[in-house]
Amino acid sequence: MESYHLKRIDFIFKNENDWKDVLSRALASDKQLILNELMESELKGRGGAGFPTGLKWKLTADEKSDEKHIICNADEGEPGTFKDREILTQVPFKVLVGMAICGYVIGALKGFIYLRGEYTFLMPELEKAIKEFEYYCKEINFKFSIKIFLGSGAYICGEETALFESMEGKRGEPRNKPPFPTKNGYLGKPTVVNNVETLAHTYTIFKYGAKQFYDLGVQYSRGTKLFSVSGDTPKAGIYELELGMTLEQFVDDFGDGDTKAVQVGGASGFLVPRKLFSQTIIGFKGKLEGHSLPTGGSMMLFNSSRSMFNVLSNYLYFFHEESCGQCTPCRVGCQVLLNGINEVKKGERSTLYLDKLLQLTETMKQTAKCGLGQSVANSFSSIVENFKEEMIY
C-alpha cells in the first residue's frame, strides 16, 4: 500500500535560517533577471485563481507611478483552508522576503499584510518578525516597510479589490474590473496582491532557481502546492504535494476507504463524486486530459455517512451570509438557491425546480461582479448535478 502515497515535498515549511542571504542576494541582482526567473518557474497564484505571478509582477513593474504597493493577502477565509496560518506561524520570513523582493522588482516601498480578522492571535509573533525584518532592511540600506492590516471578518475582503476598499476604510465591496489592480489598486496605485503561499514559493524559487520548481508538477501546473486536508480522512492536516495528481491518487492516499466525494477548493469550489475521481486532475486549467480543477488548496473529503444535501445547504448558508450583497446575481441568487433546495426537499416545489436553479447558476457564473460571485454557484451545480437524488429524498 505504501506505493499509494503521494510524494511529500518540503519546500515551504523547510526551516531555513538563511532569509538574510536570500534577500541580500536578490537585492543585488538585476530586476529583470528576477522577473525572468519567476516567469520561467511558471508559478501561478496559490490563492486559487492561478494568475501567473511573474506576469502580475511584470505588469505592475511596467506601470509608471510615484507609488506602488505589494500586499500579502492573508485573509484566509475559504472554508476548509488553513495553510496560510501555518506559513505565517512557522516561516514568516519567507513571506516577508517574498514581499520585499516583489517591492524591489516593482518599485514599491511599502508592503502590507492583510490579515484575516480571526487571525489576530498571529499578530504578536508576526509583528516581532516584521520588526526584525525591517531592522535588517535598514542594516543593508534597503528602504522597505511592512504593515499589518487587520481585516474585520468579512469573507469578501479576500477578493483583491474588496480588500483595497477595506484597507482604504470603505465598505469591503469588490470594484469593477477593469481597471485591474496592477494598474489601479490600493489608493489607486499599481498594486500586486499575492497570496501568502505564493510569496513563500517565490522565496524557494529565488533561492534554488526556477528549474527545481518547474521540474515538479505537470504542464500548466508547475511546482508544488499546500493542501489543507479535512473531513472524513484519517490524515487531516496540511500537506505539500506536487500539482497534477488525479483526485483518485489523492483519495487513495488520504481517503478513509469510503470516500464518496471530495469538495475541491472550499465552499466556492467544486464537489467531485467518486466516479469522476480518476479523470479529475488537481491543477490549473490548460490542455490537460480530463477535468482540471484549480484550487486554493482546500480538500474536504466526505464519506458515505454524509448527506450531500446538508453539505450543500451549509455552503449556501455560508454564501447567503458572506456575499457582500452588492450585485444581484450573488446576493439574491444565493438566497434563491438556498431556499430552493429546501423547498424541493420539503416537496413544496417539484424536482424540476432544480433544473431551473441549475440554469440560474449559469447566469450567476456569467454575470456576477467579482470572482467570488462567479464561483458561489459552483458547489450548487456540482452537487446537484451529481447527487440529485440526495436533494430530493
**Residues binding other proteins (CB under 8 A):** 154, 156, 171, 173, 176, 178, 319-329, 331-336, 339-340, 343, 349, 356-357, 359-360, 362-363, 365-369, 374
C-beta of residue 133 within 8 angstroms of C-beta of residue 96: yes
CB-nearer residue toward other proteins: 210 or 312 = 312
Report, in Å, the least distance between residue 330 CB and other proteins.
9
Give the count of beta carbons closer than 10 Å to the beta carbon of residue 76. Answer: 26
* Distance separating alpha carbons of residues 246 and 274, to the nearest angstrom: 12
* Distance separating alpha carbons of residues 233 and 339, to the nearest angstrom: 31
CB-nearer residue toward other proteins: 65 or 367 = 367
Q: Phi and psi (nearest 5°) for 347?
A: 80, 10
Non-local (6+) Cβ contacts of 82 within 8 A are 76, 228, 230, 238
Query: What does the radius of gyration of the chain's CA atoms come to, in whole angstroms?
Result: 21
Kindly state the greatest CA–CA separation across the chain. Answer: 70
CB-nearer residue toward other proteins: 52 or 325 = 325
Cell numbers placing 210: 526556477
CB-nearer residue toward other proteins: 192 or 324 = 324
Q: Which of 244, 252, 247 is nearest to 280 (CA)?
A: 247
Q: Does 179 sit behind a cis peptide bond, omega within 30 degrees of 0 on the bond before it?
A: yes
CB-nearer residue toward other proteins: 69 or 175 = 175
Helix (H, G, I), strand (E, B) or coil at 8: strand
Helix (H) or strand (E) holding 377: none
Cell numbers placing 146: 511592512
* Distance separating alpha carbons of residues 373 and 352, to the nearest angstrom: 24
CB-nearer residue toward other proteins: 75 or 252 = 75
Residue that the C-alpha cell 500586486 belongs to: 192
CB-nearer residue toward other proteins: 153 or 209 = 153
Give burial (CB, 10 Å; 0-12/13-18/19+) of 303. Answer: middle
Q: Which of 388, 85, 386 is nearest to 263 (CA)?
A: 386
CB-nearer residue toward other proteins: 218 or 332 = 332
Between strands 291-293 and 280-282, the pairing is parallel
CB-nearer residue toward other proteins: 156 or 251 = 156
